A and B are shown apart, each in its own frame.
Chain A
Amino acid sequence: MKVLEISNLTVVRGGTMILDNINLELEEGQSLAVIGPNGGGKTTLVKTILGLLQPQTGSIRIMGLPPESVIRKRPGTIGYVAQRAFYDPDFPVSALDVVVMGKYGKIGLLRPVGRKDREEALSCLETVGMADFALRPIGQLSGGQQQRAMIARSLITHPRMLILDEPTSGVDAGSQENFYRLLRDLQSSLSLSIIQVSHDIALVPSYSDQVACLNKQLFLHGKPDDVMRSDILKQAYGCQVEFLFHGTMPHRTVEEHRGHHD
């Protein structure tokens, strides 16, 4: 079953075409890395999938429904982890409070948070290895711990699809790989579909089933190794590409960019 179907999607903002005729499909339980340069439209794609931006043409279907209907009628179907965990580092809530927030929409208006909701939140924190930090003020956690808490928040509604927008930009390099490993584990244990948007071409693709390169157009949609071998990356970035591979691939590949920068 397809959890996400994007067809002929075009997004224009302020007179500039940001996304040009995007087509993308994601099967249930699959993970997709969308990589591409900054300004290539990655965040716009995420916001359009979440229904925060309206496309000029084309359509998005999540479990067969447009984004706004999914959010309105089926709270918690999509989990979202943003680039910046939150705005105010001193906001007076604990990690557990933040995780429970993820369920507010599902609990509904005029209904209080129950003890069961808090227990569920704690078990979600346990899933991401953060149970010991449940009562810590969220601002006192490290970048990586905060993002784990944000994943726990998105898990509390048992989502079918998880969307992450540059989730490791505030995470120190040493913890990034653990973070990706956690996502891969969640994907298999919860049969979760995951879309991760990133400019980290070194690590993210090796933890995903499929990779797409986005720079206004979606350049490719295939298995990680194929993408990395091809010239497509260079085409998407338009310049020299340097990245690390894991597993069977050589550990460092530097492709010289021939011709001029554009």
Chain B
Amino acid sequence: MIELLSYQFMQRALAAGIIISLVCGILSFFVVLRRLSFIGVGLSHAAFGGVALGFFLGVEPTWTAIGFCVAIALLIGMIKHKGKIQEDTAIGIFFAANMAFGIMLIGLSHRYNVDLFGYLFGNILAITAYDLKMITAVGSLVLVITALFFKELLFCSFDEEMAGICSVPAVPLNYLFMVLLSLVIVVSIKVVGIVLVSALLVIPAAAGRQFSSNYRAMLPVSVLVGLLSTLGGLFLSYRFDLPSGSTIVLLATLIFGLSFLWEHTRK
């Protein structure tokens, strides 16, 4: 284990894993409480459209993915706020449309890109120094903003309409939350991939909720579950030569399963 840490790629993988699981653990808390479990899927596939756009235009895919994903997130928020259709319908539309958009752009760019596989399924062991910088910057930003608006985000998750009546700026905060989610999804893609990133935004809090009836306990437990799955998954994937993203997600699912059993045998 010690000699493992002497590898630079492993140090970067660990640092990225810790930051991502911390941030995803906290956001998953709100995703689960807001019953928005499908949002991660919608936005990560929007990120796929953005990544493909980057390949097509020949620019750094992370930036196009951030721009594209944030735009789609705001659009979903706007449709929910203004339109007659529900949020999950809006997500359902964009989920498929962005995937189609991405596939079309990749078809048009006429070149097979090895990197694409990395975006789809993630490879934490291939995190570059640049990736780690992005993850650190975005992770810290999201953590600070979430901490600053924690009480308002909590109230809006509980009862958005009532929060608005109690003079909490519920609508702007809803947009802010969508933007934070997009940012985290885009930087997490390198670690677990577009296909699996939504798991990190649901499973930690789903497990955390089994253990606790108050958010003060649920939040740290969610973060802990995220950390355990990411670090444990990373170790297992290295030790047994397994794909990192899927090992992390399967370990998280296992922890959720155990938490579920624990909660139901306790009753």
Q: Looking at B35, B162, B169, which has the most chain A CB atoms within 10 Å of its CB?
A: B162
Once bound together, how far apart are the Cα atoms of A137 and B159, in whole Å? 16
A33 → B minimal CB distance (Å): 21
Does the CB pair A104–B212 fall under 8 Å?
no
A60 → B minimal CB distance (Å): 14
Q: Is B167 engaged at the interface, CB distance under 8 Å to the other chain? A: yes
Q: Is B60 engaged at the interface, CB distance under 8 Å to the other chain? A: no
A68-114 interface (Cβ within 8 A of B): 71-72, 75-76, 78, 80, 82, 86-88, 90-94, 97-98, 101-107, 109-110, 112-113
When distances are taken between beta carbons in the complex, the residues of chain B under 8 Å from A17 are none
B115 → A minimal CB distance (Å): 40
Once bound together, how far apart are the Cα atoms of A59 and B157, in whole Å? 32
When distances are taken between beta carbons in the complex, the residues of chain A under 8 Å from B154 are 93, 101
Once bound together, how far apart are the Cα atoms of A82 and B209, in whole Å? 26
When distances are taken between beta carbons in the complex, the residues of chain A under 8 Å from B117 are none
When distances are taken between beta carbons in the complex, the residues of chain A under 8 Å from B217 are 92
Given contacts A86-B158, A86-B159, A109-B152, is CB(A92)–CB(B167) below 8 Å?
no
Q: Looking at B154, B159, B167, B212, which has the most chain A CB atoms within 10 Å of its CB?
A: B167
Q: Is B56 engaged at the interface, CB distance under 8 Å to the other chain? A: no
When distances are taken between beta carbons in the complex, the residues of chain A under 8 Å from B33 are 88, 91-92
When distances are taken between beta carbons in the complex, the residues of chain B under 8 Å from A244 are none
Does the CB pair A75–B167 fall under 8 Å?
yes
Once bound together, how far apart are the Cα atoms of A110 and B173, in whole Å? 13
Once bound together, how far apart are the Cα atoms of A101 and B167, in whole Å? 11
When distances are taken between beta carbons in the complex, the residues of chain A under 8 Å from B265 are none
Closest residue of chain A to B165, judged by CB? A80
Q: Is B116 engaged at the interface, CB distance under 8 Å to the other chain? A: no
Does the CB pair B168–A91 fall under 8 Å?
no
When distances are taken between beta carbons in the complex, the residues of chain B under 8 Å from A90 are 209, 213
Once bound together, how far apart are the Cα atoms of A91 and B218, in whole Å? 11
Does the CB pair A110–B167 fall under 8 Å?
no
Does the CB pair A102–B215 fall under 8 Å?
no
Which of B152, B158, B213, B218 is within 8 Å of A88, CB to CB? B158
Once bound together, how far apart are the Cα atoms of A71 and B215, in whole Å? 28
A4 → B minimal CB distance (Å): 15
A204-250 interface (Cβ within 8 A of B): none
Q: Is A190 engaged at the interface, CB distance under 8 Å to the other chain? A: no
Which of A72, A78, A101, A105 is within 8 Å of B158, CB to CB? A101
When distances are taken between beta carbons in the complex, the residues of chain B under 8 Å from A137 are 213-214
Query: Which are the 6 A-B pairs with shortest beta-carbon distances?
Result: A105-B167, A75-B167, A105-B166, A92-B215, A137-B213, A101-B155
Query: Which B residues are within 8 Å of any A CB, using their own CB?
Result: 33, 35, 148-149, 151-152, 154-155, 157-159, 161-169, 209, 212-215, 217-218
